[in-house]
Structures are given as structure tokens and as C-alpha cells.
């Protein structure tokens, strides 16, 4: 339950049983009653999932609505909804006191959230359903992703693959800087080898919601540091307004000797050293782009366990040419920062230098 809500006499007012999106902060808990699949696709940050129709029930009711009649569908839907509300009440909410104030969310603020709101208000809780439902929230997120990037002074961290940009950003965050960790939000390092082991990327909608949530928390009076990215991180697209703001922002380009980058990458991608099959699969995906001869040479090095030579060749023949082309898209003023071997101490030093030079 929320413990940072305003006092009751300072909470936003709402019509009886209905609340608008700007009243979110006045509630103790946000309950999303959509199906599990809808919730997994995207939801209001901090909401809990209490579906009044599970995925199979929602599909069944929807089929009846289209193929039989709305009346038959509503009868079955009401039976399912009543049983599921009773179960959630018994299992999750019996310990809530009379002052508890939940906000209940469904797709459009209709029957599903209305049913739970009615039951909860009949008990005596000041429950409200979100007017317009998740659809209003989604439209708000999209609008804010167009507006918010224009409020901030972004400072881009650039550098070829293996120059420790993500670690530098993490060090900056630890030093108190405002950092937008796009690769962390996307669960991907942004290249053909950038997938995180054991972690699937989120869906596009949830990625955008997390991005909005991060942006909304920043102080416009302070710079926001972000790593240089292309329009896509893995399979996820950056909002156009953010991408354009990053292109125009001042940039610190980290310069690291190639042998130091190779050593860093061998530490940063240890999973590929232990799963040559997965590494081969990722390299094979580049055949159409780079040709059979080059890929076969790399696969031979991987099979021999010669990862230093493989990494150096990948940098020279693939990643560095890509970086050179990408660098041309950064249009803001640029400064170069020389870094040595990427030890923890050197990363911390570079992080401090970037902040000192940022406007």
C-alpha cells in the first residue's frame, strides 16, 4: 500500500466513484482488473493485477458477444466477474481498513472496473474507477513522450563498442547524476550480441511506460546523461522526440585503445565464452550483411576458443565501421575524453570528468 499519499483533506477531489488520471497520487493502491495478458502488455507503474476475467474467460465472453448475443455474453461475464471479485476480496483485501482508498482500472473505465468499484464502495471503502481506464493512461504516456524530451538538457555519452559507456553511466548515477539508462529499460545492449542472457525484452508499450516514468522523475534544472543509441534497441523503438533530442545534444566521446576495449568486452560478455552455440547463432544472423567468408572465419575462431582475436576482428571489421557511421548522426557539440584500461577506478574518473565538462 502507498505510504506517501497526501493527507485526506489534500487529496484531489473526484466525482462519486469516478476519478480522473490527475488524481492518481491520492489513492493508496491501484488495482488493474484487466486480464493477465492485458496487464503484461502494459499497465500503470505500481499497479497490482487482480483480473476479474482471466484470459480464457475474456476470450469466451468476447466470442459469445460476437457470435451469440450481448445478453448471453453479459450473463456469463457477470458470473465470472462476481466469482473473481469475491476471490480477490477474500484472498487479498480483507485486511484493508476502512480508510483504504483504491483506484480500479480496466480498459476503458467500463463494466469490469465498475463492478469491482460497486462492490468495494458497498463495503464502505472510498473506491473509484479510473475515468477512461487504461486507454486514457496510454494516451497520456504517448503525449508526455512527445513533450518531456523538450524539457531537459541531455548530454550524450558516445564511444565505440567496448568503451564502457554503460558502466560509465552507472558510475555517474552512483555519483548522483541524472541518468537515463535506455539499455537497462530495454534489457538489451543494442547490438546483434546485445541480448541479455535469461532476460526477454519488454513489449514496446511497457518500455514506453517505463521510459515515461523515468523521464517524468527528472529535474529540468539539471542535465540528463544518456548513452548514444540508434533508433532501435534490439526490437524496441525509441520515441521520435527523444531520439531527435539526443541527436542535437552535446556529446562526450569516450576514446579507449582497442586492446583495452577487447579486454573489457571479454569481461562484459562472459556468457558467450561459455555458450559458443549461442554466439554462433548470433554471428550467423549477420551472414546476409557481411558474407559467408567473414562469418566462417569468426565461427572458426569461436570454435578454437580464441575469443581475444575474435573480439578484435569483430571490432575492426564490424562494430567500429558501424560506430563511425552512427557518429555522423550526432549533431551537437562534441568533446573527446581519453580513457585508459577500464578498471573500476578509471570508469569512476571518466564519469566525474564527463560531469565536470557537461554544460
Q: Residues with catalytic annotation? A: 106
Q: What are phi and psi of 37, to 5 degrees?
A: -65, -40
Q: How far apart are the first and last CA of the chain?
A: 40
Identify any residues that bridge with 338 across adjacent strands, giving them in sequence order: 255
Q: What is the residue whose three cell numbers read 545534444? A: 249
29-32 and 48-49 as β-strands: parallel, antiparallel, unpaired? Answer: parallel
CB contact set of 190 (below 8 Å; sequence gap of 6+): 183, 229, 230, 233, 234
How far apart are the C-alpha atoms of 325 and 94, rounded to whole Å?
A: 60
- The number of beta carbons lying within 10 Å of the beta carbon of residue 200 is 10
Long-range contacts of 117-121 (CB under 8 A, 24+ apart): 117/17, 118/17, 119/85, 119/89, 121/17
- The number of beta carbons lying within 10 Å of the beta carbon of residue 195 is 19
**Up-side HSE of residue 219: CA atoms within 13 Å toward CB?**
6
Identify any residues that bridge with 18 across adjacent strands, giving them in sequence order: 129
Residue 34, classified by CB atoms within 10 Å of its CB into exposed (0-12), middle (13-18) or buried (19+), is: buried
Alpha helix (H) residue ranges in 124-257: 133-147, 165-174, 182-186, 204-216, 240-248
Strands (E), the chain: 18-19, 29-32, 48-49, 102-105, 128-130, 154-158, 178-180, 224-227, 232-233, 236-237, 251-256, 334-339
Radius of gyration of the chain (CA): 25
3-class DSSP state of 315: helix
Amino acid at each position: 500500500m502507498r505510504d506517501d499519499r497526501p493527507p485526506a483533506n489534500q487529496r484531489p477531489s473526484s466525482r462519486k466513484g469516478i476519478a480522473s488520471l490527475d488524481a492518481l497520487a491520492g489513492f493508496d493502491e491501484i488495482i488493474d482488473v484487466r486480464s493477465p495478458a492485458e496487464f503484461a502488455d502494459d499497465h500503470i507503474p505500481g499497479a497490482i493485477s487482480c483480473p476479474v476475467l482471466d484470459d480464457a474467460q475474456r476470450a469466451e465472453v468476447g466470442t459469445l458477444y460476437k457470435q451469440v448475443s450481448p445478453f448471453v455474453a453479459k450473463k456469463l461475464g457477470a458470473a465470472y466477474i462476481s466469482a473473481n471479485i469475491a476471490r480477490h476480496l477474500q484472498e487479498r483485501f480483507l485486511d484493508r481498513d476502512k480508510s483504504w482508498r483504491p483506484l480500479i482500472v480496466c480498459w476503458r473505465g467500463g463494466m469490469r472496473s465498475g463492478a469491482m468499484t460497486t462492490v468495494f464502495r458497498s463495503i464502505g471503502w472510498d473506491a473509484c474507477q479510473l475515468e477512461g481506464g487504461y486507454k486514457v493512461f496510454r494516451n497520456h504516456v504517448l503525449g508526455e513522450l512527445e513533450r518531456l524530451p523538450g524539457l531537459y538538457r541531455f548530454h550524450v555519452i558516445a564511444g565505440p563498442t567496448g568503451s564502457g559507456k554503460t558502466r560509465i553511466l552507472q558510475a555517474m548515477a552512483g555519483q548522483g547524476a541524472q541518468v537515463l539508462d535506455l539499455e537497462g529499460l530495454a534489457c538489451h545492449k543494442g547490438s546483434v550480441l546485445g541480448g541479455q542472457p535469461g532476460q526477454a525484452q519488454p513489449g514496446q508499450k511497457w518500455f514506453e511506460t517505463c521510459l515515461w516514468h523515468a523521464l517524468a522523475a527528472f529535474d529540468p534544472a539539471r542535465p540528463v546523461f544518456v548513452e548514444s543509441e540508434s533508433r532501435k534497441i534490439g526490437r524496441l523503438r525509441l520515441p521520435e522526440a527523444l531520439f531527435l533530442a539526443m541527436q542535437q545534444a552535446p556529446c562526450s566521446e569516450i576514446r579507449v585503445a582497442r586492446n583495452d576495449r577487447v579486454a573489457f568486452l571479454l569481461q562484459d560478455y562472459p556468457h558467450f565464452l561459455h555458450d559458443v552455440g549461442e554466439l554462433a547463432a548470433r554471428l550467423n544472423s549477420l551472414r546476409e550483411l557481411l558474407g559467408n567468408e567473414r562469418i566462417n572465419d569468426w565461427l572458426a575462431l569461436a570454435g578454437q576458443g580464441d575469443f581475444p582475436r575474435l573480439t578484435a576482428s569483430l571490432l575492426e571489421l564490424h562494430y567500429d565501421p558501424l560506430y563511425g557511421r552512427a557518429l555522423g548522426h550526432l549533431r551537437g557539440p562534441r568533446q573527446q575524453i581519453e580513457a585508459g584500461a577500464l578498471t573500476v577506478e578509471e570508469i569512476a574518473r571518466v564519469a566525474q570528468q564527463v560531469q565536470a565538462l557537461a554544460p
